[in-house]
């Protein structure tokens, strides 16, 4: 699983090179109403699709937390995911039982 953090400055920088000849106000686009907040983590699986429930959980958390707190929680969540994958019988967040979490 890959993970990334929303960075408006990187979008502004790279969009210039990706769309030559097309005028797009990248700053307005990434700061529009409903856009992901700076520092919001998102997770992609090997098929480059969002990994649930992590994406939805952190999108909701981003509504009330600052980027630093989101990063801290992201690394903790990744530790839990890695732990669950390393169990004798690997599992994921949605399939984890109480015994898995107690371990």
Alpha carbon 12 to its chain's center: 19
- Residue 79 belongs to what domain range? 2-92
Structure confidence by residue, pLDDT tens digits, 25-43: 767 777 788 788 889 999 9
Name the 3-class secondary structure at 56: helix
User: Is residue 53 domain-resident?
Assistant: yes
User: Is residue 100 domain-resident?
Assistant: no
User: Is residue 30 domain-resident?
Assistant: yes
Q: How far is Cα 67 from Cα 5, in angstroms, rounded to an integer?
A: 9
User: Is residue 99 domain-resident?
Assistant: no
User: Is residue 35 domain-resident?
Assistant: yes
User: Is residue 103 domain-resident?
Assistant: no
User: Is residue 27 domain-resident?
Assistant: yes
Structure confidence by residue, pLDDT tens digits, 38-74: 899 999 999 999 999 999 999 999 999 999 999 999 9
- In this structure, are strands 2-5 and 41-44 parallel, antiparallel, or unpaired? antiparallel
Reported pTM: 0.74
User: Is residue 102 domain-resident?
Assistant: no
**Domains of the chain: total:** 1
């Amino acid at each position: 699983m890959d993970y990334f953090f929303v960075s408006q400055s990187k979008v502004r920088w790279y969009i210039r090179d990706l769309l030559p000849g097309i005028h797009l106000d990248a700053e307005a686009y990434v700061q529009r109403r409903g856009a992901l907040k700076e520092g919001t983590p998102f997770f992609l699986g090997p098929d480059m699709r969002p990994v649930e429930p992590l994406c939805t959980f952190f999108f909701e958390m981003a509504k009330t937390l600052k980027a630093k707190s989101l990063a801290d929680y992201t690394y903790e969540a990744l530790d839990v995911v890695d732990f669950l994958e390393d169990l004798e019988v690997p599992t994921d967040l949605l399939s984890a039982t109480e015994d898995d979490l107690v371990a």
